[in-house]
Amino acid sequence: MPLLRRARVVAVSAVLLASGSTVAAAATSALPDQYVAPIANCVQPGPTLRYLVVFEEGTSQPLAEAEIAASCGTSTVYYPQIAVAVATSPDPTFGKRMGADRAYSAQAEAISKKTGAVVKKKVDETELGKASRTGAVDRTVEQWDMDLIKAAEAHAITNGSRDVVVGVLDSGIDPTHPDLVGALDPGLSAGCSATGKADTAVEAWSPTTSAHGTHVAGTIAAADDGRGTTGVAPGVRIASVKVVDNDGYIYPEYAVCGFMWAAVHGMTITNNSYFIDPWVFTCQNQVGQKVVYEAVRRAVDYSSSRGVLTVAAAGNGGMDLSKPGRDSQSPTNAPPEDVKPRPVDNTCLVLPAQLRSVVAVSAVGADKVKAGYSSYGLGTVDLTAPGGDRKQEPAHSDDGCVLSTVPAGYDYSCGTSMAAPHVSGVAALLASTHPEATAPQLTRMLNAQSETLPCPADYDLNGTGAQDAYCTGYSEYNGFYGHGLVDALAAVTK
């Protein structure tokens, strides 16, 4: 431990010990008996902000909490497995006291510099769908997406195993939807989007302002009961892990909480149909953003080490993630006129999709051609799946988007958010068929069993005659489709 930090930690312990803190006493017992003047003069002008704090790996909980307290903060939760904490503080100097390379408030980025209030996130319309349409009739004929991945043929063999659990890290799952009640496991569900700490109350993991999570959940595991829609793996269990707040943000502390919850509770797969705010591209070498990158990386790596397969959407920006060039959408809370495009390079990643060990998913429409909105990139996209595209009209539906469950009914929606749960569902069938398989083994099987999709000969996004995206690679592995289109039938027969 560097000398300056060591002195500060000792000071932390001294300050809290004087106030009678048992946490400080535990921390002090492990430290040299050398004290310096304690940090004082905390100010409270507000607002109280949340911070993600990264410590040296191996830091004990008492020591981490003591250091946070001495920097004028309060620890909300600490994950000793990855040495990452969520803390709050009304003191604007908290981040500087902890160190800009160790503490960062994504929440602060979402507070408008013009109004002083949190700006509601503008969600891409491809993820919103249209007005809800209810009804208990069988609507599987409209599920062209399931036909594309041979889901019905797979169900003739198996619907999947109840031993397999898919954590849906999203905006919450409707616990009363008739197509989902049989699959949803309330005992494994939790909300992370209020404080960054898991809350198991039903209202904490139920949807409030967004149908997104319920739609994703239906694609994975909606019941095969002759009513409504049917998911890719209707026989497995799902857990609602809410990581989207009521303003539409997925702050990094929410995602870290979700990954850790899934890891500790033994889930098989997590589906992540989002990118982490407030930056579309999180740069490893930029102040603040490097804290986000390191914390999320540690959480995903820990989850993977516990056997959890992480599946994530590539994003709807239509960008080549292997050559990002410029980021014109960050911070995600800023009005378009206030966004100043910044150069980004290969050290800047869309999280969690571009992390090592994560299966990144692009989207295709009914014609098995990359959807115009779908991001792509050689070496970044692993697989593709149906996400929908209104320019690619399916045979048995009046909408080119994906039909699935939403609170109070069913709805169409397009996006890589819709593609990712198809991959998670196929992975769940694989895990059911191969219960001994590790997360890396499931990834290799997904890749090997996918349907090869070569680069299209002439890709025209807008019908203008000009190419708007360039597919590089070869038939078996390319920037649009990765290893190819997932195959549910292969997952249960090979």
Nearest to 190 by CA among 175, 210, 212: 175
SS3 assignment, position 380: coil
When pLDDT is averaged across residues 77-102 and rounded to a whole number, the result is 96
If pLDDT is split at 50, 70 and 90, which confidence band does 45 have?
confident
229 or 17, higher pLDDT: 229
Cα-flanking dihedrals φ and ψ of residue 4, to 5°?
Answer: -60, -45
> pLDDT by residue (tens digit) across 229-274?
999 999 999 999 999 999 999 999 999 999 999 999 999 999 999 9
If pLDDT is split at 50, 70 and 90, which confidence band does 459 have?
low
Number of C-beta neighbours around residue 198 at 10 A: 21
When pLDDT is averaged across residues 314-322 and rounded to a whole number, the result is 94
Contact present, 242 and 248 (Cβ < 8 Å): no
Q: What is the CA radius of gyration of the chain?
A: 23
Q: Return d(Cα 109, Cα 330) in angstroms, integer.
A: 10
How remote is the C-alpha of 140 from its chain's centroid? 28
Q: Return d(Cα 105, Cα 420) in angstroms, integer.
A: 28
| Three-state secondary structure readout of 252-288 | HHHHHHHHHHHHHCCCCEEEECCCCCCCCCEECCCCC
24 or 409, higher pLDDT: 409
pLDDT score for 342: 83
Reading the block at residue 271, the tokens are: 């589906």
Largest CA-CA distance found in the chain, in angstroms, rounded: 76
How remote is the C-alpha of 401 from its chain's centroid? 21
Q: Return d(Cα 361, Cα 347) in angstroms, integer.
A: 20
SS3 assignment, position 169: strand
SS3 assignment, position 358: strand
The Cα-based distances of 293 to 89, 252, 353 in angstroms read 22, 9, 12
If pLDDT is split at 50, 70 and 90, which confidence band does 395 have?
confident
pLDDT surpasses 60 at 89: yes
Which one of 56-70, 273-287, 339-353 scores highest in mean pLDDT?
56-70
The Cα-based distances of 174 to 153, 167, 182, 230, 465 in angstroms read 28, 14, 12, 16, 43
When pLDDT is averaged across residues 455-481 and rounded to a whole number, the result is 76
Of the listed ranges 27-31, 257-261, 487-491, the one predicted with least confidence: 27-31
When pLDDT is averaged across residues 448-457 and rounded to a whole number, the result is 95
Q: Which amino acid is at 419?
A: A
> pLDDT by residue (tens digit) across 185-224?
999 999 999 999 999 999 999 999 999 999 999 999 999 9
- Residue found by looking up tokens 């590089």 in the block: 472
Of the chain, the percentage scoring pLDDT greater than 70 comes to: 84
Peptide bond into 278 cis (omega under 30): yes
Kindly give the residue spans of alpha helices, DSSP state H, lying in 188-333: 202-205, 212-221, 252-264, 289-305
pLDDT score for 273: 98
- Looking at every residue in the chain, the average pLDDT score rounds to 88
**Is 147 buried (19+), middle (13-18) or exposed (0-12) by CB count in 10 A?**
middle
- Residue found by looking up tokens 């209104």 in the block: 390
pLDDT surpasses 90 at 5: no
> pLDDT by residue (tens digit) across 414-436?
999 999 999 999 999 999 999 99
- Residue found by looking up tokens 């031993």 in the block: 163
pLDDT surpasses 50 at 11: no
If pLDDT is split at 50, 70 and 90, which confidence band does 466 have?
very low
SS3 assignment, position 88: strand
Give 385's strand partners.
363
- Residue found by looking up tokens 């409209």 in the block: 142
If pLDDT is split at 50, 70 and 90, which confidence band does 334 have?
low
pLDDT score for 2: 42
Of the listed ranges 178-182, 186-190, 381-385, 458-462, the one predicted with least confidence: 458-462
Contact present, 359 and 383 (Cβ < 8 Å): yes
The full set of domains in the chain, from first to last, is: 3-104 (no CATH), 125-493 (3.40.50.200)
pLDDT surpasses 90 at 326: no
pLDDT score for 133: 57
Reading the block at residue 192, the tokens are: 């992370």
If pLDDT is split at 50, 70 and 90, which confidence band does 24 have?
very low
pLDDT score for 123: 54
